[in-house]
């Protein structure tokens, strides 16, 4: 009888232990159809019971580590060559022989794609969307869209799913990221994985580590504003804003349509709440960047700035700080490619100048100029193919050392210096490639100033690798500007078809590539 009682107790203890055991879990990025980074050590991690021995098997490798006191386990696979062969990543536990499998895993290059609405802008919204999506059929172009997640403290995990590019899935992919990946696929031939972590209307401070923001005085007022927000209030702010978005994007348009159909007055638009999590410092770093680290990636592309466009000087410190922080955490000088803001009536030219300075002063970065693909009245221009393709071109030059231009050029002309020769201002450029060219009959967008510092429209012509700028009313020029407007009307390119960046020769001194 005593033995039977002992056996029953043992069974009950085992059942209780089993019910309390943690599920064998991988981080959310490790899911079917994923892409692992080639030619780098590949971290793989997840959660189990404390002390549980975890073995990860992939491509002939087997790595074992023990879960720590919090249940987290972490292994590193050795560097692997690219492979389009869909293989299985197996995770085995020493407890109860628990097994988890990730199917269809390929090895190639993984890029983090982050920013606000113009990065989040999806293929379903682009120019000729139906045609573009119908043509999408590349099983080695894969994307993982990180589900929205705002947080006041770093999260451990993200949710989302990997998709292969086809006519069913591609409409949901970031358009800039998709065209970028297309360009990489065309030239490298290896699988490309995109981790798209972006949300519209968000400030750069939202994507930046709190410790990093603490070192930037310009971020102080915003940090202070949010420092007293309790977790409960933070959650309430999120609920209120999500309701506003629903009213703005779904309910209100239908109400307007109905009112017009009935000949009734159009109802007032919903009012935006005073506080949005989109402005909360570090909220998206905590929710949508920190949980990705240190997943092995090739580099990052970034399209953001509209929400900070009135603070050019501050942005000139904030973006380099974000870049430095991501590089520190990932443990290498990751290539970082970003987009200069496109023409729009709300964007002051000084912000584009700040972006160019960031590029010139931050190693292993590149900037894509978009003066020819903007929309004065729509801050979300639908022409995203040139943006993605130019990012890919920069990636070849910066990361792969395989530029696809005969000259090896990846940028349009960049202002270098001004020389005054009588009544002529002679402008020299870097990144002229095979030479300068004009798209159209004559150059547009140049203004010139004399000693009175009043800028007037100018006549500009290409002479060799320079542009000569004059005006009948300016006999002693001192400065020249190009595209110095919210919506520049410009047409200077290099022979590679890449547009020149707007500039002012009277800008404060800066270092140049």
What pLDDT is recorded for position 508?
A: 80
In what helix (H) or strand (E) does residue 352 lie, and over which residues does it extend?
helix 349-361
pLDDT of residue 97: 80
Residue from 84, 74, 80 nearest 105 by CA:
84
Omega of the bond prior to 294 within 30 degrees of 0, cis? yes
pLDDT tens, the chain, 513 aa long: 445 544 443 443 343 344 445 789 999 999 999 999 999 999 999 999 999 999 999 999 999 999 999 999 999 999 999 999 999 999 999 887 899 999 999 999 999 999 999 999 999 999 999 999 999 999 999 999 999 999 999 999 999 999 999 999 999 999 999 999 999 999 999 999 999 999 999 999 999 999 999 999 999 999 999 999 999 999 999 999 999 999 999 999 999 999 999 999 999 999 999 999 999 999 999 999 999 999 999 999 999 999 999 999 999 999 999 999 999 999 999 999 999 999 999 999 999 999 999 999 999 999 999 999 999 999 999 999 999 999 999 999 988 876 566 667 999 999 999 999 999 999 999 999 999 999 999 999 999 999 999 999 999 999 999 999 999 999 999 999 999 999 999 999 999 999 999 999 999 865 444
Q: Is the peptide bond before 342 cis (omega within 30 degrees of 0)?
A: no
Residue 13 confidence (pLDDT)? 37
Cβ–Cβ < 8 Å for 477, 420: yes
- Whether this model's pTM surpasses 0.75: yes
* CA nearest neighbour of 413 among 428, 399, 401: 428
What pLDDT does 408 receive? 79
Structure confidence at residue 148 (pLDDT): 96
- 138 sits in which H/E element: strand 137-145
């Amino acid at each position: 009888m005593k033995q039977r009682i002992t056996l029953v107790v043992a069974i009950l203890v085992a059942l209780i232990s089993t019910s309390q055991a943690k599920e064998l879990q991988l981080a959310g990025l490790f899911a079917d159809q994923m892409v692992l980074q080639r030619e780098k050590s590949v971290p793989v991690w997840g959660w189990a019971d404390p002390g549980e021995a975890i073995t990860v098997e992939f491509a002939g490798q087997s790595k074992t580590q023990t879960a720590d006191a919090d249940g987290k386990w972490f292994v590193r696979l050795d560097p692997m060559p690219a492979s389009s062969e869909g293989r299985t990543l197996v995770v085995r536990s020493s407890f109860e022989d628990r097994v988890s499998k990730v199917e269809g895993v390929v090895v190639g290059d993984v890029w983090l794609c982050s920013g606000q609405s113009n990065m989040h802008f999806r293929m379903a919204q682009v120019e000729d969307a139906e045609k573009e999506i119908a043509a999408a059929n590349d099983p080695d172009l894969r994307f993982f869209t990180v589900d929205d997640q705002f947080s006041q403290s770093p999260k451990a995990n993200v949710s989302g799913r990997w998709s292969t590019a086809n006519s069913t899935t591609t409409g949901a992919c970031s358009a800039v990221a998709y065209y970028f990946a297309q360009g990489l696929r065309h030239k490298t031939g290896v699988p490309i994985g995109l981790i798209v972590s972006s949300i519209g209307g968000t400030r750069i401070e939202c994507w930046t580590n709190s410790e990093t923001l603490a070192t930037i005085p310009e971020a102080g007022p915003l940090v202070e504003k949010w420092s007293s927000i309790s977790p409960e209030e933070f959650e309430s702010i999120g609920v209120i804003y999500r309701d506003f978005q629903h009213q703005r994007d779904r309910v209100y348009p239908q109400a307007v349509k109905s009112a017009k159909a009935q000949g009734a007055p159009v109802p007032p638009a919903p009012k935006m709440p005073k506080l949005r999590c989109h402005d909360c410092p570090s909220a998206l770093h905590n929710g949508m960047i920190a949980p990705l680290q240190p997943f092995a990636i090739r580099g990052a592309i970034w399209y953001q700035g509209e929400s900070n466009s009135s603070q050019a000087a501050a942005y000139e410190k904030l973006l380099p700080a974000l870049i430095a922080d991501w590089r520190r955490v990932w443990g290498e000088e990751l290539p970082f490619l970003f987009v200069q803001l496109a023409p729009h009536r709300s964007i002051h030219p000084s912000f584009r100048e700040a972006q160019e300075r960031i590029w010139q002063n931050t190693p292993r970065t590149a900037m894509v100029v978009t003066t020819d693909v903007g929309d004065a009245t729509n801050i979300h221009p639908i022409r995203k193919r040139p943006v993605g393709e130019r990012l890919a071109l920069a990636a070849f030059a910066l990361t792969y050392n395989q530029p696809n231009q005969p000259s090896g050029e990846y940028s349009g002309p960049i202002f270098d210096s001004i020389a005054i020769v009588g009544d002529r201002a002679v402008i020299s450029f870097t990144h002229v490639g095979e030479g300068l060219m004009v798209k159209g009959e004559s150059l547009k967008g140049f203004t010139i100033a004399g000693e009175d510092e009043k800028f007037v429209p100018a006549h500009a012509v290409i002479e060799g690798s320079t542009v000569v700028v004059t005006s009948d009313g300016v006999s002693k020029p001192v400065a020249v500007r190009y595209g110095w407007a919210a919506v520049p009307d410009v047409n200077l390119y290099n022979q590679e078809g890449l547009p020149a960046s707007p500039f002012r020769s009277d800008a404060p001194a800066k270092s140049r590539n």
